[in-house]
Amino acid sequence: MSKRILVTGASGQIGSALTPALRARYGADMVVATDIVEPPEELRNAGPFEFLDVTQRGAIAAVIDRYNVGTIYHLAAILSAVGETKPQLAWTVNLNGVYKVLEIARERRVERVFYPSSIAVFGPETPRDNTPQDTVLRPTTMYGVTKVAGELLGNYYFRRFGLDVRGVRYPGIISSETLPGGGTTDYAVEIFYEAIKHHHYTCFLREDTVLPMMYMPDCIKATMDLMEADLARLKHHTDYNLAAMSFSPADLVAEIQKHIPDFVCEYRPDYRQEIADSWPRTIDDRAAREEWGWEPQYDLAAMVEDMLDKLGRRYEAGLL
């Protein structure tokens, strides 16, 4: 019997989009979704779901054995903003989680592991424009610290044990279905809901804060393309820079106003401003382009049009 795919953190922003995409590609029964919280109903009904805490070694091993797992997408994590309010929790979930998943994957001879990193691996000493692939990694957030350690650990397991661990440094991800789980880039999703419902949004970042961003279909495409890439072509493994678009809140507001002219945004920066100010503005992702053919499909205008179309329909149907 062929081996199954395990997704941790499947109820989250990325997992709830990646799991259906994996099920469409490999078969609904082949993809086991897991999380500590209930997933969206469609995800729970469309294939196997298990409650799984990634800090519990025995529980991870049991699911891997029960379902004969050959590939893991390890998405469970605490993101940057929640991580700054609860740094101990971020350390426990992010670092204990990835260590336990990699250890069990090594023991059980799992074939491939995807472990996403983030633009949060960079810090104030990193060049902020066209941030190079290989550069200074001195983050000032607990989330960033755990992501740097996770990248290094994944590379260690590849070199030392031959475990095929792959990962990208996602930018801020924008999605139309599940809301983001507590990051610094969440404004770029919340703003659409408020623009449609109230024509008004109060942004927690300054209007000129440029950050790298990506629309969910590109996020899913990058993830699946990297996991299907020929290992022989990969010079990097767990730490690919990845870019699609960069914009500030003011740029996003101007684009939304092309569709909703009376939309107004106010700016009240909070503690997340300091996190954003420590991250890159634009990213050099040539390694991903050259080594596995990465190419994004959505720019700012295309993303905004699609978000407003999808959320606008849900609003009109009374579902927002």
Binding site for ligand SER (CB under 6 A): 79-80, 118-120, 143, 172, 183-185
Selected binder of ligand NAD within 123, 139, 167, 181 (CB under 6 A): 181
The length of the chain is 320
Which one of residues 5, 7, 9, 114 is an interface residue with ligand NAD (CB under 6 A)? Answer: 9
Q: Decide which of ligand NAD, ligand SER, none touches 93; Cβ closer than 5 to 8 Å per partner kind.
A: ligand NAD
Contact, 153 vs 94, CB < 8 A? no
Catalytic one of 143, 170, 201, 215 = 143
d(CA 175, CA 188): 9
| Phi, psi (deg, nearest 5) at residue 231 | -55, -35
Judged by beta carbon distances under 5 to 8 A according to partner kind, the member of ligand NAD, ligand SER, none in contact with residue 5 is none
**CB-based contacts of 103, cutoff 8 Å, min separation 6:** 57
Instruction: Tell me whether residue 102 or residue 119 sits nearer to ligand SER (CB atom).
Output: 119
- Residue 155, Cβ neighbours under 10 Å: how many? 16
Question: Considering CB distances under 5 to 8 angstroms, the limit depending on partner class, which of ligand SER, ligand NAD, none binds residue 246?
Answer: none
Query: What b/e sequence results for 65-103 when a residue is b if at least 16 CB atoms lie within 10 Å of its CB, and e otherwise?
Result: eebebbbbbbbbbbbbbbbbeebeebbebbbebbbbbbb
Closest CB to ligand SER: residue number: 183
Residue 99 appears among annotated catalytic residues: no
List the catalytic residues: 143
Contact footprint for ligand NAD (CB under 6 A): 8-9, 11-15, 35-37, 52-55, 75-77, 79, 93, 116, 118, 170, 172-173, 180-183, 185
